[in-house]
A and B are shown apart, each in its own frame.
Chain A
Amino acid sequence: MTTEVALLAAIGLHCRYGDRPVLHDINTTIHASELVGLIGPNGAGKSSLLKALAGLLAPSKGCVRLHQRELGQYKKIELARQLSYLAQGASVQWPLLAQRVVELGRLPHTGFGNGFGHDLSPTDRDAVTTAMAQADVTAFAGRTITALSEGERMRVMIARMFATQAPLMLADEPMAWLDWYHQHHTLELFQQHCQRGGSAVVVLHDLNLAARFCDKLVLLDQGRIVRSGSPQQVLDAEVLRTVYRMELEVQLLDGVVQVLPRWRHAELPTDC
């Protein structure tokens, strides 16, 4: 196995919501052991790209390939074991116990037919316990999800994603609502996952976190990839200035690129 072979690849990917195009000609690859950060301003298409990579948004042109097979050719259950997806916002409809929410992450393994509730094999139970310990939510196991704070709930959802033990993880803003400690903690979890041979794509807003933890960054703007590569290559002051419409300073801290926002540019005239 060489790392040259792409695990997941978007090839000439175009996507649209109804008539509105959201992604144009996306070409990118995710390799094994790679932690990829998707960055870009609001509405750049980060979430759409993540959904397309997870097979949740059908491409209007082009394709996404996992192990060189198009996503559409996989059975849904096979795909669910290969890649797990964390939706933005991570809402839960009913006041379920946190433990049960994490157990839902085992659904691709337990199958959908058997039993009415807690029919987990020892393997499933181990995976749930490990994931809850990893995401630091063991203490919430017996609490209802609606009684938790937003950040705590997000950590439960992260545990849910890790419980699936899929090699590929796609997470949409997992850092939302997390405190600094847990932001670093969670990104370290993704890093460890990648060190064990898995890979992860994470939508991030914090460029400094992205620079510190990600192996590769993909900068999106208006549905197109503006630049992708190592954090040093992508976090270029000139590129960021135009994409984010911010005056900013890029400097090295502990050998890591860090971006310091200075001020925002005046409103650009809207081109009607």
Chain B
Amino acid sequence: MTATSPRWLPRLLIAAVPLLILLSLSLGSVPMPWPEVLRDLLHQQDTVNTLIVTEIRLPRALLAATVGAVLGLSGAALQAVFRNPLAEPGLLGVSSCAALGAIVALYYGLSELGWFTLPAFGIVGALISVVSTFVLAGRGSSVSTLLLAGVAINALAGSCIALALNFAPNPYAMSEMVYWLLGSFANRTLSEFLFALPFVAVGMTMILSQRRFLDGLSLGEETAQSLGFNVLRARAVVVIGVAAAVGAAVAVSGSIGFVGLLVPHLMRPLVAHEPGRLLPISAVAGAVFLLLADIAVQCLSPQQELKIGVVTALVGAPFFLYLIVRLRTHAP
């Protein structure tokens, strides 16, 4: 039994990203006369149509692709680090702490200080979650201790978010927070995206640099160490990379669940279950997945904005349950 995978599928996924971005750019309530718009863009003439493309549709498409890539990659990386197919960026409390950071910015009206406050607070929240995970679990902790720390931080962040919602100064602030929590790519500016981009790039690079370590880790921590890896350091690089990338991404888009769970699972058979090779393909597939989901959201309900976080949860939660049942029946 050889696990040969169709070689064209990874290439198809890579090719799909720019195509879907283009498709996403041409979708919307206003039809785009592309020859005209391209000419105006080239001559740097601002028309309504070029503004719609650059200010509204481009950030949305780029954000969908980037957040998808971050979540897919982070899910694959965390599953390898924890040697647990149920691990996800949400698991370490990174997503919820980033969300909490952004909620604090919204709650105290700090988001009016400038476009950068929301992403900045998200990143700070994510970093706090990672640091406190390490403080709680301690150096050289086992995987289960780290997981428990993540659960505790998640619970704390969740209750703090609930508290913030409870004390919302006015219904408008509350609805803003709730809307933001649902996760969406609509109405984000290019500068919000650009602020998140360096953190996302650094985080993803950190994760990808440890792919051989993640391969080695499939034989266990001791064996990985005996193969020459500094397990504590390499694991910290991966986890901090996840925090930076997910923190920045969640701060701009709101929390979008289950992508980090679903995508690596679908991709794993294509790379013969190798954790290192799973990383890049999960990033690409994550981008494709969220671009598709965002396009679907726009097509399904152009009037009433359907939140993409809701859609991924509707698809992802049953998949999560299916995984639990399957893991339980296949448990040794």
- Residues of chain A touching chain B, judged by Cβ–Cβ distance below 8 Å, are 51, 54-56, 76-81, 83-87, 90-97, 100-101, 104-105, 107-108, 110-113, 116-117, 142-144, 147, 157, 160, 164
Contacts and interface: CB of A to CB of B under 8 A. Distances in A.
Q: B213, B228, B230: which has the most chain A beta carbons within 10 Å?
A: B228
B280 to A, nearest CB: 6
Contacts of A85: 222-223, 226
A142 B2 contact: yes
Contacts of A164: 227
Contacts of A113: 209, 212
Contacts of B217: 93
B273 A95 contact: yes
B227 A108 contact: yes
A96 B227 contact: no
Interface in B204-242: 209-213, 215-220, 222-223, 225-230
B227 A80 contact: yes
A117 B277 contact: yes
* Main DSSP-derived SS at the B contact region: helix
Contacts of A86: 223
Contact of A96 (B218, B220, B222, B279): B218
Given A51-B222, A77-B228, A117 B274 contact: yes
Contacts of B83: 93
B108 to A, nearest CB: 44
A87 B217 CA distance: 13
Contacts of B210: 112
B277 A80 contact: no
Contacts of B215: 104, 107
A91 B83 CA distance: 11
Given A56-B225, A87-B219, A147-B1, 20 more contacts: A54-B226, A56-B222, A79-B228, A80-B226, A80-B227, A83-B226, A90-B219, A91-B219, A91-B220, A92-B218, A93-B217, A93-B220, A94-B274, A97-B2, A97-B3, A104-B216, A104-B219, A107-B216, A116-B276, A117-B277
Interface size grouping (class) on chain B:
20 to 34
Contacts of B220: 87, 91, 93
B277 A107 contact: no
Contact of B1 (A77, A83, A144): A144
B72 interface: no
Interface of B: 1-3, 83, 209-213, 215-220, 222-223, 225-230, 268, 271-277, 279-280
Contacts of A111: 212
A101 B2 contact: no
B274 A100 contact: yes
Contacts of A95: 273
Contact of A101 (B1, B219, B225, B271): B219
18 contacts: A76-B228, A79-B228, A87-B226, A91-B219, A91-B220, A94-B274, A101-B219, A104-B218, A104-B219, A107-B212, A107-B215, A107-B216, A108-B228, A110-B212, A112-B228, A113-B209, A116-B279, A117-B277
Given A85-B223, A142-B2, A116 B218 contact: no
Contact of A112 (B213, B218, B268): B213
Contact of A116 (B213, B216, B223, B277): B277
A154 B212 CA distance: 22
A151 B222 CA distance: 21
Which 6 residue pairs spanning A and B have beta carbons closest together?
A: A80-B228, A85-B226, A77-B228, A112-B212, A94-B273, A93-B83
Contacts of B230: 76
Contacts of A100: 272, 274
A70 B190 CA distance: 55
A55 to B, nearest CB: 8
Nearest to A100: B274
B280 A93 contact: no
Contacts of A93: 83, 217-220
Nearest to B82: A93
Contacts of B228: 76-81, 107-108, 112
A56 B272 contact: no
A64 B271 CA distance: 40
Contacts of B216: 104, 107
A164 B83 CA distance: 23
Contacts of B213: 112
Contacts of B274: 94, 96, 100, 117
Nearest to A110: B212
